[in-house]
Amino acid sequence: MPLIDIGANLTHDSFDRDRAAVLERARAAGVTRMVVTGASREHSHRALALAQAHPGVLYATAGVHPHHATEYTEECDAELRALHAHPEVVAVGECGLDYFRDFSPRPAQRRAFERQLQIAADTGKPLFLHQRDAHADFLAMMREFDGRLGPAVVHCFTGTREELFAYLDRDWHIGITGWLCDERRGAHLRELAPHIPAQRLMVETDAPYLPPRTLRPPPKDRRNEPAFLPHIVDELARDRGEDPAATAAATTATATAFFGLPEPPSRRELDILAGTAL
């Protein structure tokens, strides 16, 4: 069953030495499409270039992560808007608020987030959101744009039950990563997983970050990659009491619709192309 990794930081320099092999392993594992996260000015450009080099397989987001909020100038805003003119750029973000690390001052984070919400409102593109320890401000800022935004996904959801239901009540989507597999801090996610409706659930590796701790053998270099997504889907399916094939099919259908991706060719279409159809 083909999978879509909705959050892979494939422009990360840890992939520079073997990016082609990483993509080949993803394909072999059934991860047929990936959305490359753009999380800074520089990497949003690189995400688009990577998507353009792999049409139909890689797509990109363009945005500025709250960690990099201080780089959000007028020039940066214009650059992001130019990136969003490209059809390969399928979402605005990664953007949001992170009061856990506070790598950028909070007023700068809020300003960069607001500007990107405006881009999403102007373009109608989906939002790829990051929220950590900033739930109240995050909700308040999103509320300012009520009725003006397209679909939204809270990527790498790690929050509480209250946060989950607040997001689902607002009809947002939830991105689940291998955080679920971390017995030290992800156990609560296993209890919450069955409460996410299939049409609101998507899966992601957040590679190279968050290698699933239940993966055997563990990756030698502690680097996560899209080929590990089926493992996350297996763990998630078990928590949801579902057949992994059902979880895979539902998350792929949800991601296809969410990002407005073309439907992949059906088995019959592939047979026709191969000249083997009756």
Nearer to Zn ion, 33 or 130 (CB): 130
Task: Please count the residues of this chain forming the interface with Zn ion, following the rule CB under 5 A.
Answer: 2
| CB atoms near residue 125 (< 10 Å) | 22
* Torsion of the alpha carbons at 244, 250, 256 and 262, rounded to the nearest 10: 90
Mask 67-106, x = binds Zn ion (CB under 5 A)?
----------------------------------------
Strands 3-8 and 127-132: unpaired
Options 82-90, 149-157, 171-179, 185-193: segment touching Zn ion (CB under 5 A): 149-157
Nearer to Zn ion, 37 or 237 (CB): 37
Options 19-27, 153-161, 207-215, 262-270: segment touching Zn ion (CB under 5 A): 153-161
In the complex, least distance from residue 109 CB atom to Zn ion, rounded to whole angstroms: 13
Residue from 12, 130, 231, 240 binding Zn ion (CB under 5 A): 130
Nearer to Zn ion, 130 or 231 (CB): 130
DSSP state of 31: E
In the complex, least distance from residue 100 CB atom to Zn ion, rounded to whole angstroms: 11
Rounded distance between C-alpha atoms, residue 132 and residue 63, angstroms:
17
Mask 154-193, x = binds Zn ion (CB under 5 A)?
--x-------------------------------------
DSSP state of 156: S
Q: How far is CA 180 from the centre of its chain?
A: 15
Nearer to Zn ion, 12 or 130 (CB): 130
12 belongs to the binding site for Zn ion (CB under 5 A) = no
User: Alpha carbon of 238 to those of 29, 41, 186: distances in Å?
Assistant: 19, 38, 15
Strands 201-203 and 127-132: unpaired
DSSP code per residue over 242-254:
--HHHHHHHHHHH
Residues at the interface with Zn ion (CB under 5 A) = 130, 156
